[in-house]
Amino acid sequence: MDLKTKVTERLLIQYPIIQAPMAGGVTTSELVAEVSNTGGLGMIGAGYMTPDQVRKQIREIKELTNAPFGVNLFVPGEFDTTEKEWQEANQALQPIRNQLNIPDDKTDAPVFDHLLETFQEQMKVIQEEEVPICSFTFGIPSKDTVKQLKSQDIILIGTATTVKEAIEIERSGMDIVVVQGSEAGGHRGDFSPDNQDGLVGLMSLIPQVVDQVRIPVIAAGGIMDGRGLMASLCLGAEGVQMGTAFLTCKESGANPLHKQEILQAQEDQVVLTRSFSGKWARGIHNQFISEFSQKEATIPDYPVQNSLTKGIRKASASQGNPEYMSLWSGQSPRLAKDQTVKTLMESVITEAKQVSVE
């Protein structure tokens, strides 16, 4: 039982364990490099970064490891929010700003053209810096983009929440697909508009996807240890992507309050909400989610709501108050530990080998 799979072969890594590209400061250079140095694949969550920040971090990580690592980007989607809706959404946040004693920091509404331009510049950096692996969330980049990246031998990984999305990713020419189960923390990666219910648990999602695509499948959502790794391989996946398990590691850049909240949480306190960003995401229930629970439908789409709540989330964190922070977590917080990446990687691998022997 050497844990070699199509994913370890393709990505040139030792173990089929990928650190989920969590955006928003979690994936420090130390975290990414240490995952790659211990035999997994470290990933930069570059979704919110400027092209210069992406370049800077890629160079930092290259100083820390010779092993492969990757970058994840958000594929920009269209959004449609009127000036009035935006004003109303901003108004709805004012009582929380008053409570936190911070000013209305509303900026201009994000512009789609600008996001697309940033995305193209981010990809240019990845090519220039010769990053070997690039993954995408919230959609599929254009045919031309896929073609260009592949011409430079960059391995492309898409993110799907249903069989249909996985098939679309395969058809687009990407090399590997991450299937995100309903267990997953943070933002849902769904992009197909005709989903009735994209919240499919991994026990259902992995085998149904594996039966319909030929590219290797990586399982994501709630996987924290060797049991989850071996279960995913039994279901037909060729590897796992773990987020929350790495988020509470010492090398992660997550706010200490965020780590603490996960370490104390129970599985039924981790809920889905649109309140922070306008996109469905899973995190630990707190006052902010509670205040918006009856108004989920009125919240403007991502990234509009995301930009409107930024100041509140930041102020809440700096005031040491977890009630207005986005405390993203998967459904397995009871399995999270305060540990180093090395300890986590070693225990996952040791446990996986024990499970498989039984």
Residues lying near its own copies in the complex (CB under 8 A) are found at: 162-164, 181-183, 195-208, 211-212, 219, 221-225, 227-228, 230-236, 266-272, 285, 330-332, 334-335, 355-356, 358
Candidates 55, 36, 34, 59; CA nearest to 46 is: 55
Minimum gap (Å) between residue 67 Cβ and its own copies? 26
Q: Indicate the residue type of 14.
A: Q
- What is the spatial distance between Cα 336 and Cα 146, in angstroms, rounded to a whole number? 36
Nearest-approach distance from CB 29 to its own copies, in angstroms: 29
| Cβ nearer to its own copies, comparing 34 with 165 | 165
In contact, 305 and 276? CB cutoff 8 Å: yes
C-alpha 194: how far from its chain's center?
A: 22
Rounded to whole angstroms, the Cα distance separating 163 from 346 reads 32
Instruction: Kindly state the smallest distance separating residue 122's Cβ from its own copies, in Å.
Output: 30
Minimum distance from CB of 153 to its own copies (Å)? Answer: 30
In degrees to the nearest 10, what's the CA dihedral of 292, 298, 304, 305? 0
Residue (28 or 332) nearer to its own copies, CB: 332
We find the least distance from the C-beta atom of residue 289 to its own copies, in angstroms, to be 9
Instruction: Give the Cα separation of 335 and 261 in Å (integer).
Output: 13
**CB nearer to its own copies: pick between 70 and 222:** 222
Cβ of residue 4: shortest distance to its own copies, in angstroms?
11
Residue 274 tokens, joined: 């649109």
Q: Which is nearer to its own copies, 101 or 196 (CB)?
A: 196
- Closer residue to its own copies, CB minimum distance, 78 or 197: 197
- Kindly state the smallest distance separating residue 334's Cβ from its own copies, in Å: 5
Residue 150 vs 164, nearer CB to its own copies? 164
Nearest to 36 by CA among 3, 55, 63, 2: 63
Query: How far apart are CB 141 and its own copies at their closest, in Å?
Result: 23
133 vs 242 by CB, closer to its own copies: 242
Among residues 133 and 265, whose Cβ is nearest to its own copies? 265
Query: Is the Cβ of residue 134 or residue 179 nearer to its own copies in the bound state?
Result: 179
Cβ at position 285, least distance to its own copies in Å: 5
